[in-house]
Amino acid sequence: MTRKCAIVTGAARGIGLATTDLLLEQGWQVVMVDRDASELTPVAESRERVLALPHDVSNPQEVNRLISQTLDWSGRIDALVNNAGVAEFGPIADCTFDMWRRVMETNLDGVFLCSQAAADALKETRGAIVNIASISGLRASTLRVAYGTSKAAVIHLTKQYAAELGEFGVRANCVCPGPVRTKLAMAVHTQDIIDAYHDAIPLNRYGSERELAEVICFLASEKASYVTGQVVAADGGFDSTGVGLPALRG
């Protein structure tokens, strides 16, 4: 039997790489997409059953090419994990249009373009889309005017896809990670932000890449066959709480 094939964007490191590894453990073949070829090539070379494609998900021509290269390689697409993302934080007053566009291009346009291009192949397999948003898309915070808005849009885009592709058996779900110590997060999380997250999270810690991958792979799998249009916060409880947690702990 042909192995199931997943496309994971932003697969060179962080949550995308952990998701690739868990899918491989579960028997999938994986197309690893990342625009950072220098990081992608060595990690792909050390893995079997992968195809490395150094494309930019915000470029429509490159996205069309990555879908046709995937179909040439595996003949099928069973899951699309839209994980590639960028984080640029700053006050509203300092958010230039260039910064706004850089964030939207990858975080929102990229998810739209890849989902659009993969839709026909996903209909053939009755496959799944898993989008990676953020707790910043669920609750507003300072410095995230572009990032938080892009992620809120990804949450809604997920529901649009679930609504329209459901009749073809294609599911679309969204995972909202809490903080994970990846290169993306560590570039924008100051010590103050790290301390504030620990205070605000019931589980009192950051998550791991693997903990996120477990949720993503569940939603991509047949085990979630009756789940679509859902938003799962894998965030240590951050989204579920209000004020007063540190005081109650004390």
Residue numbers annotated as active site: 147
Q: Does residue 179 belong to the site contacting ligand NAD (CB under 6 A)? A: yes
Of the pair 13, 76, the CB lying nearest ligand NAD is at: 13
Distance of closest approach, residue 245 Cβ to ligand NAD, in angstroms = 19
CA distances from 91 to 67, 100, 120, 144 (A): 37, 12, 40, 7
Which residue has 């260039």 as its token pair?
98
Distance of closest approach, residue 126 Cβ to ligand NAD, in angstroms = 25
Among 4, 10, 23, 161, binds ligand NAD (CB under 6 A): 10
Stretch that binds ligand NAD, among 30-38, 138-146, 193-201, 223-231 (CB under 6 A): 30-38
**Tokens coding 227:** 């789940």
Number of chain positions touching ligand NAD (CB under 6 A): 31
User: Which residues make beta-bridge pairs with 80?
Assistant: 7, 129
In the three-class reduction of DSSP (H, G, I as helix; E, B as strand; rest coil), residue 52 is classed as strand
Residues 63, 111: contact at Cβ < 8 Å? Answer: no
**Tokens coding 242:** 């209000």
Among 20, 58, 70, 115, binds ligand NAD (CB under 6 A): 58
User: Which residues make beta-bridge pairs with 233?
Assistant: 176
Of the pair 22, 86, the CB lying nearest ligand NAD is at: 86
Vertex 160 angle, CA 159 and 166, to 5°: 85
Distance of closest approach, residue 235 Cβ to ligand NAD, in angstroms = 8
Burial group, residue 159, by CB count within 10 angstroms (0-12, 13-18, 19+) = middle
Vertex 24 angle, CA 169 and 229, to 5°: 30
Q: Does residue 148 belong to the site contacting ligand NAD (CB under 6 A)? A: no
Q: Does residue 149 belong to the site contacting ligand NAD (CB under 6 A)? A: no
Residues 115, 80: contact at Cβ < 8 Å? Answer: yes
Distance of closest approach, residue 28 Cβ to ligand NAD, in angstroms = 19
Give me the 86-115 binding string for ligand NAD, x by CB under 6 A, dash otherwise: xx------------------x---x-----
Stretch that binds ligand NAD, among 8-16, 89-97, 122-130, 213-221 (CB under 6 A): 8-16
In the three-class reduction of DSSP (H, G, I as helix; E, B as strand; rest coil), residue 111 is classed as helix
Q: Does residue 201 belong to the site contacting ligand NAD (CB under 6 A)? A: no
Indicate the length of the chain as a whole number: 250
Among 6, 56, 89, 234, binds ligand NAD (CB under 6 A): 56
Residues forming the site for ligand NAD (CB under 6 A): 9-10, 12-16, 33-36, 39, 56-58, 83-87, 106, 110, 132, 134, 177, 179-180, 182-185
